[in-house]
Amino acid sequence: MTDDTAPSHPPLATEHGLDPSLLTGLARLAVHVGLNLQPGQDLVMTTPTSALPLARAITAEAYRAGAGLVSALVADRDMTLARFQHAHDASFDKAPDWLYEAMAKAYENGAARLALVGEDPFLLAQQDASKVGRANRANAAAYRPALAPIAGFHINWSIIPCPTPDWAQRMFPDHAPDDALTLLAQAIRQTARLDQPDPVAAWARHNENLARRCQMLNAARFDSLHFQAPGTDLRVGLAEGHFWQGGASVARNGVRCNPNIPTEEVFTTPHAARVDGYVRATKPLSHHGTLIEEIEMRFEAGRAVDARATCGGDVLRDMLATDEGAARLGEVALVPHSSPVSQSGHLFFNTLFDENAASHIAMGQCYASCLEGGDTLTKEEILARGGNESLIHVDWMIGSGQMNVDGVQADGEVVALMHAGEWVTA
């Protein structure tokens, strides 16, 4: 029995004081641009509790689009902290492998995957670093069954941001909480192209531009890339049969999706044994609660043989020691200095954004989808082509308005790709 005079529920956004139009816009982008969710398709969504207003809006939009079943897995900051404050030592070598096996089963049965980001980037900054590292390694190992369909692009998947108070306060510590949240919401609105009259059409145009860039790079068949900037002189060999991707791509299930919103990059698989020279980071790296600043690495025959940072160096070296592949590259990406994320002038402390502010490289696992015929290659064949294997995949930014990038052909011919951080090719 219902009471027709009862007040309706308040707008979702009132929980954090967010503009309802922002939540609506992000939900539509997530379902129709990020995922391109298909009628009858199930959805597995992960979200922090701080992003629940957006998770609810996405759930409603997904069902309106014909979703079969939306299942949300929620992480809570206080429950996460409780583990580090009260759990027995053995807890930090455990991970919910049963959960990740179930997620893998859902993807095998055709489910799409959506991750909402908005958690406090420094939630674990004050916790025991050794316990954080152990927990991360255990989780990475257990997560492999669920990661494989994503890394292999077997399913349509996407990551999308939600402005939250904790994240906003980290980015804008000198502002009042409400003002900080407003600033973060504005930055997300602009970088996600929600400030355009028709955001979906704006994303279609953006995807076309990225596709043209990929077509040019794929036709060129460069053997390597040469990065030059203050503190950087790095040659990155490219994997045999590498394939450039960027923006919307067709997953192996036949669905065209945008894995990242926002995105400004075109990326491919480097050759794990053919990286030489030195490189300096142009932005800090936020990694599991630690801000790693002014990274410098030197590579020989593909491996990082020296790694330094003015802050967070121990965490950096621990990351590189995760396994044999952690000190080698799994991705190289080109991003113009004029990207909306870069022009925002903000450091987001979140890889989804910060990697789209500058050209970058990633330590660890490669994407098999960036190899021709990747869907048919065995692990051994991927490694033979130069692909890398690791429990980690960590992007860090090396591009700037001072960086030049050349494409180098197998015969030594050099083609200028980027000058002063901007594309110079058609």
- Residue 8 has a pLDDT of 37
Asked if residue 226 and residue 139 are part of one domain, the reply reads no
The DSSP element (H or E) to which 60 belongs, if any, is helix 52-64
Give the closest residue to 374 by CA, choosing from 161, 205, 148: 148
Residue ranges of the chain with per-residue pLDDT less than 70:
1-17, 426
Is there a single domain that holds both residue 166 and residue 289?
Answer: no
In Å, how far from its chain's centre is CA 178? 27
Query: Using CA atoms, how far apart are residues 136 and 79, in angstroms rounded to an integer?
Result: 16
- Distance CA(358)–CA(220), nearest Å, equals 22
Residue 108 domain flag: yes
Domain match, 293 and 398 both: yes
CA distance 162 to 120: 11
In a domain, 68, yes or no: yes
DSSP state of 44: E
133 and 225, same structural domain? no
Flag whether 170 is in a domain: yes
Residue 172: CB atoms within 10 A of its CB come to 18
pLDDT at residue number 368: 86
CA separation for the pair 426, 365 (Å, rounded): 31
208 located within any domain: no
Write out the two tokens for 296.
């410098």
End-to-end CA distance of the chain: 65
Q: What is the CATH number of the domain that holds 103?
A: 3.40.1830.10
The pLDDT score that the predictor gives to residue 290 is 84
Residue 205 counted as domain residue: no
Residues 31 and 65 sit within 8 Å (Cβ to Cβ): yes
Asked if residue 380 and residue 278 are part of one domain, the reply reads yes
The C-alpha atoms of residue 33 and residue 201 are separated, in whole angstroms, by: 10
Residues 222 and 338 both lie in one domain: yes
Tallying the residues shown for the chain, one arrives at 426
Cis peptide before 262 (omega within 30 of 0): yes
Distance CA 426, CA 424 (A): 7
Are 96 and 237 contained in the same domain? no
Q: Per the domain annotation, does 4 fall within a domain? A: no
Q: Please, what is the Cα angle at 133 between 390 and 46, to 5 degrees? A: 75
Phi, psi (degrees; rounded to nearest 5) at 226: -120, 115
Is 1 inside any structural domain?
no
33 and 125 co-located in one domain: yes
CA 285, chain centre distance (Å): 13
The total number of structural domains in the chain stands at 2
Is 196 within 8 Å of 189 (Cβ atoms)?
no
Do 29 and 92 have their domain in common? Answer: yes
**Domain membership of residue 416 as a residue range:** 213-244+264-423
Please state, in angstroms and rounded to a whole number, the distance separating the CA atoms of residues 189 and 198: 13
pLDDT at residue 3, rounded to an integer? 37
pTM of the predicted protein model: 0.85
pLDDT, residue 373, reads 87
Same domain, 145 and 58: yes
Instruction: State the Cα–Cα distance between residues 184 and 298, nearest whole angstrom.
Output: 35
Separation in Å, CA 376 to CA 111, 368, 371, 382: 21, 10, 10, 10
pLDDT at residue 16, as a whole number = 54
Tokens of residue 323, six digits: 């396994």
